[in-house]
A = this chain, B = another copy of it.
Amino acid sequence: MVATSIDPVGKKDPKEEIMKAALKLFTEKGYFNTSIADIRQLADVSTGTIYHYFKNKEAIADALFEEVVHSLEDSIREIRKLSNTFERLRAIVELFFELAENEPEIMRFIVAVRHQEFLGNRPALSLSSPFQKLTQIMEEGIRTGELRRMDPLVASGVFYGTVARMVLLRLEGVLEKRLEWYLLDTWTAIWRALSP
């Protein structure tokens, strides 16, 4: 009479359960190796429920993509408020490294999933707004003399390429220590590459 649900803690919003299960499976086995039946089982819902909340399988991936991009945008927007380019870039490295340790599935979805293969018309993540914002930070840094004169696309390529590669190596189990352990070396290398 008091509680609306038997389970004292879990609200079990089905939509969230479905997305959580899909994220886990998509990043673990890949989109095409994941069947609706797999998601159904892990999320502990019926087929019908899945199709009640999502138009089809692709729409689940689409919702995940949207969510991750928005969350990244928010983080980057916050980071842009920092006072100088050094702080901004360093904060982005730390954000990615921390995410990789604490939310490996989300990070895998960002750096290791080929979205174009199943998300019909989305621009590649390489062209999505967080990446554009990164290039803007580079342009600004070069303009103010905080970064060396160079093509901004090369600057963001060096930066994102390095960070994403370190994250991937960690997610694949090549790096045995936590990413914080590699932070100093990584950041030193990046800053030497970009600073004047």
Closest chain B CB from A150 CB (angstroms): 5
Chain A interface secondary structure, helix, strand, loop or mixed?
helix
Question: What is the bound-complex CA distance between A154 and B93, given in angstroms?
Answer: 14
The answer to whether the Cβ of A161 comes within 8 Å of any Cβ in the partner chain is yes
Mark contacts of A120-131 with chain B using CB atoms, 8 A cut-off: 1 yes-contact digit, 0 otherwise: 000010110000
The answer to whether the Cβ of A169 comes within 8 Å of any Cβ in the partner chain is yes
Question: Across the interface, do B186 and A174 meet the contact criterion of CB distance under 8 Å?
Answer: no
The answer to whether the Cβ of A11 comes within 8 Å of any Cβ in the partner chain is no
Q: Find the B residue at minimum CB distance from A116.
A: B30
Question: What is the bound-complex CA distance between A163 and B164, given in angstroms?
Answer: 12
Q: Find the B residue at minimum CB distance from A135.
A: B174
- List chain B residues, Cβ under 8 A from A124: 172
This protein's copies in its complex: 2
Question: What is the bound-complex CA distance between A96 and B192, given in angstroms?
Answer: 23
- List chain B residues, Cβ under 8 A from A182: 151, 153-154
The answer to whether the Cβ of A114 comes within 8 Å of any Cβ in the partner chain is yes
Mark contacts of A17-32 with chain B using CB atoms, 8 A cut-off: 1 yes-contact digit, 0 otherwise: 0000000000001101
Question: Across the interface, do A185 and B126 meet the contact criterion of CB distance under 8 Å?
Answer: no
Q: Find the B residue at minimum CB distance from A169.
A: B157
Contact pick for A151, options B33, B155, B163, B185, CB 8 Å: B185
The answer to whether the Cβ of A36 comes within 8 Å of any Cβ in the partner chain is no
Q: Which residues in chain A, 166-186, are within 8 Å of chain B measured between CB atoms?
A: 166, 168-169, 172, 174-175, 182, 185-186
Closest chain B CB from A26 CB (angstroms): 10
Q: Find the B residue at minimum CB distance from A164.
A: B161
10 extra interface residue pairs, beta carbon distance < 8 Å, beyond A150-B188, A153-B169, A189-B194? A32-B117, A114-B114, A150-B185, A153-B174, A153-B175, A157-B165, A157-B166, A157-B169, A158-B189, A192-B192
